[in-house]
Structure 1
Amino acid sequence: MNLSEIFARNLRVRMATLGLKTSDLYKMTGISKTTLMALQSGRNKGVQFTTVEKLAIALKCNPWQLFDEDMNWAAYKWANTYQGGVTHE
């Protein structure tokens, strides 16, 4: 599995864990829906550091976790309820 596929899988799993849709992430981060969909599919050729940072804040995780091939989101349950200043509207 390449890094784009790992990132895509972790992004999709984390979104599902938090019950977020692409439109929710768009509203929270300002990242275009087209970019978000490309990131979720693993088709992207690269991702900007600022994009990763925005996603990590919205997904209540550390940026490195989105690239971790062995990331176990179930073991990271505390972040599911941690608000950290991020609002869901």
Structure 2
Amino acid sequence: MPIITNLDVMLAKRKMSSKELAERIGITMANLSILKSGKAKAVRFTTLEAICKELNCQPGDLFEYQTVDSDEKTE
């Protein structure tokens, strides 16, 4: 998937656990895990806003785009 999630990096930088973030923003650990693993198909702006507020970061700090080679698409 060409969108990479850096949520775990930001949590480490802020010395915050996933459980603490999930509680602060009002989502389940399961949903936060889906976001962290990059398996989420979408992210609500309200959730993204809450994460950015709690981690004092910008959306671009949490996600990055990586191009996919044509060879990787067929695997």
TM (normalized to structure 2)?
A: 0.75
- Of residues 26, 30, 37, the one that matches 1:34 is 30
Deviation at 1:65, TM superposition (A): 2.5
Alignment-mate amino acid for residue 57 of structure 2: C
Q: Which consecutive unaligned segments of at least 5 residues does structure 1 have?
A: 70-89
Q: Which consecutive unaligned segments of at least 5 residues does structure 2 have?
A: 66-75
The residue number in structure 1 matching 2:53 is 57
Report percent identity of matched pairs: 37
Structure with higher Rg: it is 2
Deviations along 1:14-51, one digit per CA (max 9) or x if unpaired, are: 00111111111012111211110001111111111111
Mapped to 2, the partners of 1:26 and 1:53 lie a distance apart of 13
Residues 11, 55 of structure 2: 8 Å contact kept: yes
The residue number in structure 2 matching 1:13 is 9
Mapped to 1, the partners of 2:2 and 2:29 lie a distance apart of 23
Mapped to 1, the partners of 2:2 and 2:41 lie a distance apart of 11
Task: Report how many aligned residue pairs link the two structures.
Answer: 66
TM (normalized to structure 1)?
A: 0.65
Q: Is 1:67 aligned with 2:72?
A: no
Higher relative contact order (CA 8 A, sep 6+): 2
Partner-residue secondary structure (3-state), 1:45: coil
The residue number in structure 2 matching 1:2 is 2
**Greater percentage in helix:** 1
Alignment-mate amino acid for residue 32 of structure 1: T
